Structure 1
Amino acid sequence: MGLLSLGTPLDWNTSRKHNEHIRANGIVQLQNIFLQHKSRRNDHFYWGDEVEYMLVDVNEKEKKARLAIDKDYILDDLNDPEKPELLALSVDNNISFHPEYGRFMIEATPLRPYDGNLLDDYLYVEENMVKRREVSQSQLPENVVPLTLTSFPRMGCGVFTSPSARPIGPASQSLFLPDEIINKHMRFPTLTANIRKRRGHKVAINLPFYPDENTKLIDDSIPKRDLFPSDQEPFLGAAKPGHVYMDLMGFGMGSSCLQVTMQAADIEQARYLYDALAPLTPVMLAVSAAAPIFKGFLVNQDVRWNVISGAVDDRTFVERDLEPYQGFDLFGGLDVADLVKAHIASLGGGRGVNGDKLANAYGDTLMHTLDSKPIQKIPKSRYASIDSYLSDEKYHSSSPYFQKSYNDLFSPINKKAYDQLIANKNFDEPLATHFAHLFIRDPLVIFSELLEQDNQIDNDHFENIQLTNWQTLRFKPPALYPSSYGDEELAQKPGWRVEFRPMEIQLNDFENAAYSVFLILCGKAILKYNPDFYIPILKIDENMDTAHKVDAARSEKFWFKNPYKWKLDFKQFEGYDLSWFDRFINDGNDLISSNGVYLNGYCKAKGKVGCVHEENGPNEVRLTADELINGSECFPGLIRMIIKYIEEELLPSTFVNSYKHCKDKETARQMIALQSYLALISKRAAGKIPTIARFLRDFVLHHPSYKKDLKVSDAINYDLVEASIAITNFDLSKPDLLKQYFGDELFNYLKARASGIWTPK
């Protein structure tokens, strides 16, 4: 959630008067950031991760598992300088704890970033994650467990919190979630209320029911209540037949995820890295899928992304180009002249900015709010996939991969902001478009004490807009610093970074370390081998829809750049599959005369009938997650690129230059760990072990008390949480459960490691 400002947050009706002030000054601050850091070069590749936990109260006596909403005090304790012993638990273990949207949530990151050039740091990630969980658990009662569940199965179902609370709160007006689940910092209830007030009605999230024998067409959990006018919304069209209906930000922002951020050498490298990672975002969402249950129902999708997208969607009816509910305002909470509304009403209404009645009556010139912001059709929520590439034209200056045609999505911009940026020589067209699109949004929370800022040293106005655009990737410029800072001082501050945001959280620290390490090594391999992964943005959007499907990682195909157009020499990756680790660690008859590790080739299918991914083929092809990550007999996948990078860049030079086999036990241990991380991703992509979503879905479907009605009862939920705890703790008293979840090979590795035993194969 970023840093929390101290001060007085403004209600929407007051804050909207200052929207243009925030945008105008935010653009100035952005320009000053670029001016201060434009010559920054050769920054070190540091990176970090963010893990989000849910505090779950497990009542063994009553067989109930509920979200603990009264244990958020541990965040204050573990960050309080006046409690040095508790603060030391965080600092001494290199941990930083942060608040999240839910009172039942905590976020933890490494206090200091990891060094992307050090092999040891990749193996330290899991150790740090284990410590985070241990430290947080040490400050909680035994019955309250920090779990890394992506979505809590019974959130919004009757009594699901501990202590119990009723959904009657004025901030949310939710039919299902009490205000008590919201973080007590005033930013969060204000954010919740302002989204509703700007939109002019509550958010409406509808997920399709999973089909089963007793599936109903209607969400029978929707109560009839007469506490707020918004209580009638589900009966006016907000709730869709055949779908689970949810009405609050908390259903999305109350879910957990895994994010990683990496620092590039300079702005141009960061732009290429951003673009190259973009096509991977839907694939990694699918491979990390962990959310098949919402509001006590099995749903016909596997991930959380569209839930959060809907949960923070502050667009009005006019911006979504939709007819309003009966009796609701087309413009929601936008500050629009009464005269405009009256004329539209006299015409019998009008459907959005593209509606004929509206356009014919006023044209474009009158479609503005009172602060002169154009009222535009906005295709996406604030929480969505990216809208445009940043371009590699300066990074690969001699032969860039980017083409303007790849930015084929209709992406509205703030024309005023765009013109300011394009007039500044530090912004080319793709960069100006990227930021001008972010600035079509209104600030959602404004603190009165922060209205007036020094644009030379403050950047809160820019971050107010930047941090409330939650996309699959975030391009993160440095902050502003006093002009007295020299180049050496600036070099010690965070530089140009890329945040990878779509992955779902995993149950076990081994898994979260594996996904983090895989993604960062993928980024490092991209920067070393410079593949061309560009495809049209619209195809990435199509892939995001695909990633939501049940078992998408195993059963679906994703648009990706034709591997024969990656601009890579496939032969340099021959032999770098997962068996490379075995051949590196163990001497044997696989040596060739030069004492190098034998490379088993793989491009045997090239030229054969049926090998469709040829040089003269289409620019984009459909690949399974298995093909993309593991490769095929036609082309290398991401894992081969990563393994080659490990050999060339992370192994001590003595291994690379003197001999090809490991002669050191510690390095062997590290290689086995990396192999196991990559094996987890490989097996999930190939469908050899289940995603968490598949595991949870099967758990419910095969539970003895399941009635084939999609409903996850208290009893099922309790057992599911107990199983999740066993997986989290790698509880060897439940070997069958662990084998089902991890598969035999990874189970045996983790069992040996848990026993303090590891042996190279």
Structure 2
Amino acid sequence: MVNPSPVQANSDHRVEYMLVSFDHENRKVQLVLSGEDVLETLQEKGERTNPNHPTLWRPEYGSYMIEGTPGQPYGGTMSEFNTVEDNMRKRRKEATSVLGENQALCTITSFPRLGCPGFTLPEHNPNPEEGGASKSLFFPDEAINKHPRFATLTRNIRHRRGEKVVINVPIFKDKNTPSPFVETFPEDEEAARASKPDHIYMDAMGFGMGNCCLQVTFQACSICEARYLYDQLATICPIVMALSAASPFYRGYVSDIDCRWGVISASVDDRTREERGLEKNRFRISKSRYDSIDSYLSKCGEKYNDIDLTIDKEIYEQLLREGIDHLLAQHVAHLFIRDPLTLFEEKIHLDDANESDHFENIQSTNWQTMRFKPPPPNSDIGWRVEFRPMEVRHMLRLRSSL
């Protein structure tokens, strides 16, 4: 594998936002389910009118969420750092201008009352019936973005797992906290079995993917530099995650954690009982598909690959035969132990020599702390790595400094 052409090192960052409504008279704050409409307006005023518009807007999991990125990647010079905060300010101003009265664009990692009764505007009740996407006791399907990808992911994760996802977050205890803190769910046997004493129980993908984060993508000048950068950044993921931690509230309770990572990891854990090691039938997968990396990619990092790595051996052997080295082959073969979560009919039969959708279908649903991103076919985009562990902070200066 060689770099398709010499490229300048570039980067960009993605910030996820929540749309929030303030009812000052009743002292009530709700998430506004208008993300699709806001997104349509922003795209119409921006990139569809001017391809060089300084901002880009994309959908996110929640129908109360949008994602903003710079219109063009930042360059590789130190002076580009001076433009980060200004571009963030432009995005906020642009999105705020299309919101309704008493509405705001918020950069908070987890909405404190997510999953509480009436947390959305308009209000919707959860529908824990089999016909729904999440079957949640707390998170209504109306809070999921209407794009078919998101509801399909939600439904297929639950179906593949064979049960609802299970999220248990330890409750913060002070003198006023019941001990033990116990929630009962007589109307739902699955929830009654899954919930733990002294924990906040959650049961839907929306409790993880419905949170916000900050992600940065770096374009390297070669595959070797990208692999080295991947390994170097991987070592600081836990540190930066702790530095940016901003999410102590879940389902209206104060938790004993301050970071969303474990919540989002559990919220998309589609492993079967066999893959979780609860029954013996298939190979065991030690982690959710949303978790930390499992191997280093550069030659200098190879000696630190000291944990067992579950791989698809057929894919590994095929990659070796095609000239891919051991480190990269095992990385890709490890990604492909996962099943696809979505597959649209028009994307089944593709020319893999000219399109990478089949690869990206697996790659994009392995949500690790780092993501190694090969160049798309027939593109001048180079080798990239994505830095993914950060939470989003409320203050603009804190976000830009991260």
Tell me if both proteins adopt one fold, taking TM over 0.5 as the criterion. Answer: yes
1:500 to 369, 373, 387: 387
Larger relative strand fraction = 2
Match of 1:142 in 2: 101
Pick closer, same or farther for the CA change 1:109–1:86 going to 2, 3 Å: closer
Structure 2 counterpart SS, 1:114: coil
Pick closer, same or farther for the CA change 1:114–1:39 going to 2, 3 Å: closer
1:704-748, CA deviations, whole angstroms, 9 ceiling, x for partnerless residues?
Answer: xxxxxxxxxxxxxxxxxxxxxxxxxxxxxxxxxxxxxxxxxxxxx
Match of 2:370 in 1: 473
2:321 to 415, 423, 427: 423
Distance 2:313 2:48 in 1: 49
Structure 1 counterpart SS, 2:31: strand
Distance 2:243 2:308 in 1: 28
Structure 1 counterpart SS, 2:301: coil
Q: How does 1:263-412 map to 2 (within 5 A)?
A: 263-322=219-278, 351-353=279-281, 375-391=282-298, 393=299, 401-404=300-303, 406-412=304-310
Amino acid at match of 1:387: D
1:537-561, CA deviations, whole angstroms, 9 ceiling, x for partnerless residues?
Answer: xxxxxxxxxxxxxxxxxxxxxxxxx
Tell me whether 1:125 sits opposite 2:84 in the alignment: yes
Tell me whether 1:454 sits opposite 2:348 in the alignment: no
Indicate conservation of the 8 Å contact 1:93/1:131, yes or no.
Answer: no
Amino acid at match of 1:317: R
Distance 2:174 2:275 in 1: 36
Indicate conservation of the 8 Å contact 1:413/1:440, yes or no.
Answer: yes
Distance 1:90 1:166 in 2: 40
1:89 Cα deviation from its structure 2 partner: 8.0
1:232 Cα deviation from its structure 2 partner: 1.4
Number of equivalences: 399
1:566-602, CA deviations, whole angstroms, 9 ceiling, x for partnerless residues?
Answer: xxxxxxxxxxxxxxxxxxxxxxxxxxxxxxxxxxxxx
1:70 Cα deviation from its structure 2 partner: 2.9
Which TM-score applies when normalising by structure 1?
0.51
Amino acid at match of 1:171: A
Distance 2:397 2:186 in 1: 45
Structure 1 counterpart SS, 2:134: coil
Distance 1:53 1:190 in 2: 22
Distance 2:12 2:87 in 1: 11
Structure 2 runs not aligned, ≥5 long: none
Amino acid at match of 1:67: L
Match of 1:30 in 2: none
Indicate conservation of the 8 Å contact 2:269/2:288, yes or no.
Answer: yes
Q: How does 1:505-544 map to 2 (within 5 A)?
A: 505-515=392-402
Distance 1:71 1:222 in 2: 34
1:480 Cα deviation from its structure 2 partner: 1.0
Pick closer, same or farther for the CA change 1:39–1:130 going to 2, 3 Å: closer
Quick one: higher RCO (CA 8 Å, sep 6+), 1 or 2?
A: 2
Match of 1:234 in 2: 191
Pick closer, same or farther for the CA change 1:220–1:137 going to 2, 3 Å: farther
What percentage of aligned pairs have identical amino acids? Answer: 48
Indicate conservation of the 8 Å contact 1:199/1:315, yes or no.
Answer: yes
Distance 1:156 1:222 in 2: 16
Pick closer, same or farther for the CA change 1:86–1:47 going to 2, 3 Å: closer
Indicate conservation of the 8 Å contact 1:55/1:68, yes or no.
Answer: yes
Which TM-score applies when normalising by structure 2?
0.96
Distance 2:13 2:125 in 1: 35
Distance 1:86 1:39 in 2: 32
Pick closer, same or farther for the CA change 1:272–1:125 going to 2, 3 Å: same
Distance 2:291 2:337 in 1: 14
Q: How does 1:99-118 map to 2 (within 5 A)?
A: 99-118=59-78
Structure 1 counterpart SS, 2:231: helix
Match of 1:440 in 2: 337
Structural RMSD (CA)? 1.6
Tell me whether 1:250 sits opposite 2:216 in the alignment: no
1:111 Cα deviation from its structure 2 partner: 1.1
Match of 2:121 in 1: 162
1:423 Cα deviation from its structure 2 partner: 1.1
Structure 1 counterpart SS, 2:361: helix
Distance 2:316 2:58 in 1: 34
Distance 2:162 2:3 in 1: 45
Structure 2 counterpart SS, 1:286: helix
1:208 Cα deviation from its structure 2 partner: 0.8
Structure 2 counterpart SS, 1:417: helix
Report which of the two structures shows the higher radius of gyration computed on alpha carbons.
1
Distance 1:219 1:156 in 2: 18
Distance 1:92 1:430 in 2: 39
1:159 Cα deviation from its structure 2 partner: 1.0
1:197-253, CA deviations, whole angstroms, 9 ceiling, x for partnerless residues?
Answer: 00000000111111211223566555433xxxxx311222x1111111100000000
Indicate conservation of the 8 Å contact 1:55/1:147, yes or no.
Answer: yes
Pick closer, same or farther for the CA change 1:242–1:123 going to 2, 3 Å: same
1:494 Cα deviation from its structure 2 partner: 1.5
1:110 Cα deviation from its structure 2 partner: 0.3
Indicate conservation of the 8 Å contact 2:356/2:376, yes or no.
Answer: yes
Distance 1:474 1:63 in 2: 41
Amino acid at match of 2:301: F
Indicate conservation of the 8 Å contact 1:217/1:243, yes or no.
Answer: no
Distance 2:41 2:239 in 1: 38
Structure 1 runs not aligned, ≥5 long: 1-33, 226-230, 323-350, 354-374, 394-400, 482-489, 516-761
